[in-house]
Structure 1
Amino acid sequence: MEDTLRKLRQSFKNLERALSRLEEALQEDEKNSLMVDGTIQRFEFTIEIYWKTLKRLLLSEGIEAKTPRETLKEAYQAGWLADEEAWLQMLKDRNETSHIYDEEMALRILHNIQRYFPEMKTTFLNLKGRYETKWMG
C-alpha cells in the first residue's frame, strides 16, 4: 500500500511539472518553429504522464484499464474527465504527433493543444483536490 501511495504522489508531481512546462511553452510565439516543435513534444509527454497517472488512480479504486483509450474512457465513467471526446481527441493528436511532416499539420495540432490546455489543467486541479488529502499525505 505504501508503494502505491508513493507512486501516486510521484505521478501527481510529474504530471504537475509536465503541465507547468506545457503551459510555459504555450506562452511562446508560435511563429517560431522550435517553439511549435517543443510545445508538441511537451504535449506528447504530458499526455503520456496523464494517462499513466489516471491508470494508476483507477487501479487504486479497483478499476483495471489496459490501454490509454480504455483508461480515458474509465476515467470519464468515474467522473474525473468532463469532456470524454476532447480527451479522446487529445490521445488521437498525441498519436499523430509522431507523424508530423509539415508545418500546417504541426500548427493545427498546436492550436488543438491551446484549446485542450484549460481542460487538462482543470482536470488536474480537480483530481489533486480530490486525492490530495486521501493520497498525497
Structure 2
Amino acid sequence: MFYANGGIKVSLEISSIKRALASLERAINVVTSKKGDTRTSIDEIKTIEAGVIQNFEFTYELCWKFMKRWIEENVSPEIVDGVTRRELFRVSAENRLIDDVNKWMEFHRARNSTSHIYDNEIAEEVFQASLSFLPYAKDFVVRLEQRND
C-alpha cells in the first residue's frame, strides 16, 4: 500500500476515540440496566438516554474525523479534501477502515437529527441508532489500531 508523506506510515494517537467509545458503552450499559429496574422512573430513563445520545454524537464525530485524518496521513490528503461524508466513508471502506458505507450514512443522518432532538420520536430514533452504532464504532477502532501498528 502507498502511504503519503514519502511512503512513511503515520500512526495516529487514538486514545481520545478509545475513551469516547468506552464512555458510550458505559452509558448504554447504564440505560440498559436501568430499563430493567422497576424503581427507575421514565424521567430518569429519558435523562440517561439523552446521555447516550450525547455520547453517540461525540463518538460519531471522532470516528469520521479519525477516518479522514488516517486517510490524509497514510494515503493522500487530496483524496478526502472537501469530499462529502458518503465519499469519505467510501474511501474508508476502500482502505478497509469500515465495511458498510450505507450504515455509516445512517449514523450520519442520525447525528444530523440531533439538532431536532426536542421531538420525542426523533430522540427515540437517534437513541436506537446510538445502540446500533456501538459495534460499528468498536470495529472501526479495532481496524484503526491494526493500521496504527
TM class by smaller structure: 0.7 to 0.9
* Structure 2 match to 1:15: 17
Rounded to whole Å, the distance in 1 between the matches of 2:54 and 2:28 is 12
Moved more, 63-72 or 13-22: 63-72
User: Please, which runs of 5 or more residues in structure 2 have no aligned partner?
Assistant: 36-41
Runs of 4+ in 1 over 6 A off after TM superposition: none
Q: Cα distance, 1:77 vs. partner?
A: 2.2
Rounded to whole Å, the distance in 2 between the matches of 1:24 and 1:62 is 35
* Structure 2 match to 1:111: 128
Give the TM-score normalised by structure 2.
0.76
User: CA RMSD of the aligned region, Å?
Assistant: 2.0
Give the TM-score normalised by structure 1.
0.82
* Structure 2 match to 1:94: 111
Map 1:1-137 onto structure 2 (within 5 A): 8-9=12-13, 12-29=14-31, 31=42, 32-60=45-73, 61-63=75-77, 64-65=79-80, 66-67=82-83, 69=85, 70-131=87-148, 133=149
Identity level (%): 29
User: Please, which runs of 5 or more residues in structure 1 have no aligned partner?
Assistant: none
Q: Is the 8 A contact 1:19 1:121 kept in 2?
A: yes
Rounded to whole Å, the distance in 2 between the matches of 1:52 and 1:74 is 13
* Count of aligned residue pairs for this structure pair: 127
Q: Which amino acid aligns with 1:36?
A: E
